Amino acid sequence: MINNAFEKGRATYPWWPDWRGDCAAIVAGGPSLKGFDLSPLKDRIHTIAIKVAIDLCPWAEVVYGCDAPWWVSRNGLPKYKGIKLYHGIQANQYPNMRRVEIEIGSDTMLVDKPLKIGNGGCSGFQALNLAVQFGITDVILIGYDLHERGGVHWYGRNKWNQANNPMGSNYNRWRKGFETAKPSLTNLGVTVINASLGSELKCFPIKSLEDTMREWGL
């Protein structure tokens, strides 16, 4: 499987990241992030923050949020200088926003067209597809709990205007999306570790962040 999106992205967008051969961490919103120390990532691992996770790792190079209402609630993160990626059209009112296209019927890692990604039913899946398009080969997932033991998110329930909160059926849908996408990740040579201890996302090996970084020499 050839990652055409990486080369096309570099040729098309001056801001396109070159993460070839590197490791990335994607920080989501699961309850396991309560008290989680993200400082080992800083200046050592490329980081994508999903929505509210940017509050825990403000150094993240990319913020991704599929739904526009969150971007509206944060006024487009005007002080954030990294790459801001969104899908919901209402967020295009803010400067320096980059819109992604989601293939609703696809639960695979799409790598033909830059910024056209698979669905998977959640921002966590979509952020992983973006990391792959940026050329990443090793990925650590953090806060990918896919359960609500200990709360829906590390910060509680989503309360911004037009916010949604997941239910059991959502977690089942998300797990299925990742399971379906795993062969495409394997074909691309991408290794994924889930550092969300206690996670219900079991199609990837579950290891602590500390152990993963040590094994990967980070």
**Contacts of 64-68 spanning 24+ positions with Cβ under 8 A:** 64/100, 64/123, 64/126, 64/127, 64/130, 65/91, 65/123, 66/102, 66/122, 66/123, 66/126, 67/123, 67/162, 67/164
CB distance 14 to 83 below 8 Å: no
Give the integer Cα–Cα distance in Å for 117 and 131.
Answer: 10
Give the integer Cα–Cα distance in Å for 40 and 19.
Answer: 18
Overall pTM > 0.85: yes
Residue recorded with tokens 């990742």: 178
Rg of the chain taking only CA atoms, in angstroms: 16
Nearest to 154 by CA among 39, 54, 58: 54
- Tally Cβ neighbours within 10 Å of residue 188: 15
Give the integer Cα–Cα distance in Å for 128 and 170.
Answer: 18
Q: All domains of the chain, ordered by start, with CATH?
A: 4-215 (3.90.1480)
Sheet holding 97-99, edge to edge: 97-99, 83-86, 62-65, 46-50, 23-27, 138-142, 191-194
What SS3 class is residue 211? Answer: helix
Q: pLDDT (tens digit, 0 to 9) for every residue of the chain, 218 residues total?
A: 899 999 999 999 999 999 999 999 999 999 999 999 999 999 999 999 999 999 999 999 999 999 889 999 999 999 999 999 999 888 788 999 999 999 999 999 999 999 999 999 999 999 999 999 999 999 999 999 999 888 888 787 767 787 787 777 888 999 999 999 999 999 999 999 999 999 999 999 999 999 999 999 98
Nearest to 6 by CA among 17, 14, 15: 17
* 3-state class percentages of the chain: helix first, strand second, coil last, to nearest 5: 30, 15, 50
What SS3 class is residue 187? Answer: helix
Write a three-state SS string for 88-150. Answer: CHHHHHCCCEEECEEECCCCCCCCCCCCEEECCCCHHHHHHHHHHHCCCCEEEEECCCCCCCC
